[in-house]
């Protein structure tokens, strides 16, 4: 699994080994978005489109790079036993502003199908806590997306 992730980031994004951490962070962000799309036990096409749009915009990826990142994130998400492996990378390496933007992306995915389920709301709240985003910014991110 790790070999395929490294191969993707080396071949597709032409990154040096010092940039491996950034690659892992992109994968972690994608995995969290995918986890959220599964929170209400219904994966809607609108949510998948919102995930892809957010990742493409945030990381400036080509269509091929985006498809590969989403595939790898799906695999990582299925293999994960907790959110910790994803949220820990985000917490340690994202600035407060980047964490705020990630939570906004989560809200965008949650609302993409027209409603925010209680499971989606709970998961976003949990992720925000795990990445140490202050509650006021959690609320602001939600209002920015819903407003």
The per-residue pLDDT for range 17-45, each reduced to its tens digit, is 446 787 899 999 999 999 999 998 888 89
pLDDT for 7: 54
**pLDDT tens digits for range 88-135:** 999 999 999 999 999 999 999 999 999 999 999 999 999 999 999 999
At 12, is the pLDDT very low, low, confident or very high (cuts 50, 70, 90)? very low
More confident of the two residues 1 and 107: 107
Q: What is the domain partition of the chain in residue ranges?
A: 2-146
140's enclosing H/E stretch is helix 135-146
Spatial CA neighbour of 112 closest among 123, 120, 122: 120
d(CA 34, CA 36): 5
Instruction: Say what the pTM is.
Output: 0.85
The structural architecture, per CATH, of the domain 2-146 is: Orthogonal Bundle (1.10)
CB 132 within 8 A of CB 91: yes
Question: Does residue 13 carry a pLDDT above 80?
Answer: no
Predicted local distance difference test score (pLDDT) of residue 93: 92
Residue-wise pLDDT tens digits, 49-85: 999 999 999 999 999 999 999 999 999 989 999 999 9
* Contact (CB, 8 A) for 55 and 29: yes
């Amino acid at each position: 699994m790790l070999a395929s992730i490294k191969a993707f980031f080396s071949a597709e994004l032409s990154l040096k080994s010092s940039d491996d951490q950034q690659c892992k962070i992109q994968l972690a962000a994608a995995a969290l978005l995918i986890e959220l799309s599964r929170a209400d036990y219904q994966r809607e096409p609108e949510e998948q489109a919102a995930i892809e749009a957010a990742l493409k915009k945030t990381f400036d990826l080509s269509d091929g790079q985006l498809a590969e990142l989403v595939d790898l994130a799906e695999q990582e998400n299925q293999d994960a036993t907790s959110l910790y492996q994803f949220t820990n990378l985000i917490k340690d390496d994202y600035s407060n502003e980047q964490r705020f933007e990630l939570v906004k992306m989560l809200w965008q995915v949650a609302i993409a199908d027209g409603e925010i389920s209680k499971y989606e709301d709970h998961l976003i709240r949990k992720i925000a806590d795990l990445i140490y985003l202050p509650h006021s910014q959690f609320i602001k991110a939600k209002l920015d997306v819903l407003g």
